[in-house]
Amino acid sequence: MSTFTELSDVTALTPAEESRYMMQWLPLVKKVVRQLASQADSVMDRSDIEQVALMGLLESLRRYGQPDEFFASYAMQRVRGAVLDQFRQHDWRPRSLRQKTHKTNDAIREMTRKLGREPTDQEICEQLNLSCEAFQEYLLLESASATESLDNLLSGEIHHGVFAGRELEEEVNIQRTLAVALASLDEREKTILSLYYQQDMSLKEIALVLNLTEARVCQLNKKISEKIKTFF
């Protein structure tokens, strides 16, 4: 049985109820904005992100109906999804930048193969003739992409959307695979997931907690996403 309200059976909220619930769940919006704002500094300002997040919350209420104990998880993912969608629509990764990112990824993979290890940030910048600012931008973009991918795999919505129409046995198998994938992570990677998804910390805050640079957390975030995806 789905843990979420069946959306086809939703009872519409009145305007007064919508207004009341919007105020009640405003902290959730602020959490999402705080997490994602640093990933879009060059794309959207914070006030624009907040407006998109608020619209995502309103859409969540209209699709879900009366909030219950499962609403927070449902709304969190829809609000995050709304913001990430807006990043893409606002040339989050325009074609020229996507091509540049792909070339950078290919070059880093080639360096890793030749060195027999992951190259350091300094080695990457020197080899690819990248400034510190350009490399930081690359890492943030890659981290945002990895975050979107992880959201799709780990979100509460996966139960309602991805599994819709599937046999229970297939749903159980996917859950088992996800559990195995998460178990394959090392302790630091598990900590990053916990801080990000359970403690609602931003990548910058996670970097401070783990005594790492934000760039390093971005790299680890991407690595986590790649690890999990290999199981599916």
Asked if pLDDT for residue 95 goes beyond 90, the answer is no
Q: Of how many residues is the chain composed?
A: 232
Question: What pLDDT does residue 97 have?
Answer: 65
Cβ-contact 151, 81 below 8 angstroms: yes
Asked if pLDDT for residue 164 goes beyond 50, the answer is no
**Cα 141 to Cα 95: distance, rounded to the nearest angstrom:** 13
Asked if pLDDT for residue 102 goes beyond 60, the answer is yes
Question: What pLDDT does residue 192 have?
Answer: 92
Give helix 121-128 / helix 132-154 axis angle, nearest 10°.
Answer: 120
Give 198: exposed, middle or buried? Use CB within 10 Å, 0-12, 13-18, 19+.
Answer: exposed
- CA distances 43 to 24, 28, 39, 49, Å, are 29, 22, 9, 10
Percent of the chain exceeding pLDDT 70 equals 78
Q: Which three-class secondary structure state does DSSP give residue 161?
A: coil
| Least confident interval from 67-71, 103-107, 135-139, 159-163 | 159-163
| Mean pLDDT of the region 81-108 | 74
pTM of the predicted model as reported, rounded to 2 decimal places: 0.60
Asked if pLDDT for residue 158 goes beyond 50, the answer is no
Task: Provide the mean pLDDT of the chain.
Answer: 79
| Least confident interval from 1-15, 75-89, 163-177, 212-226 | 1-15
- Contact partners, residue 76, CB within 8 Å, separation at least 6: 28, 31, 32, 155, 156
Name the token pair of 201.
């910390």
- Contact partners, residue 2, CB within 8 Å, separation at least 6: 159, 160
Measured between alpha carbons, how far apart are the two ends of the chain, in Å? Answer: 23
Question: What pLDDT does residue 186 have?
Answer: 93
Q: Where are the domains of the chain?
A: 1-92, 131-232
Cβ-contact 61, 21 below 8 angstroms: yes
Cβ-contact 120, 128 below 8 angstroms: no
Asked if pLDDT for residue 73 goes beyond 80, the answer is yes
| Least confident interval from 8-17, 80-89, 106-115, 163-172 | 163-172
Question: What pLDDT does residue 32 have?
Answer: 87
- CA distances 58 to 36, 62, 65, 133, 205, Å, are 19, 6, 10, 36, 28
Q: How confident is the model at residue 42 (pLDDT cuts 50, 70, 90)?
A: low
> CATH number of the domain at 1-92, out of 1.10.1740.10, 3.40.50.300, 1.10.287.3510, 2.60.120.280?
1.10.1740.10
Question: What pLDDT does residue 200 have?
Answer: 75
Give CA torsion, residues 54, 57, 58, 61, to 10 deg: -160
**Number of CB atoms found within 10 A of residue 94's CB:** 11
Question: What pLDDT does residue 156 have?
Answer: 44
| Mean pLDDT of the region 184-204 | 87
| Mean pLDDT of the region 53-82 | 90
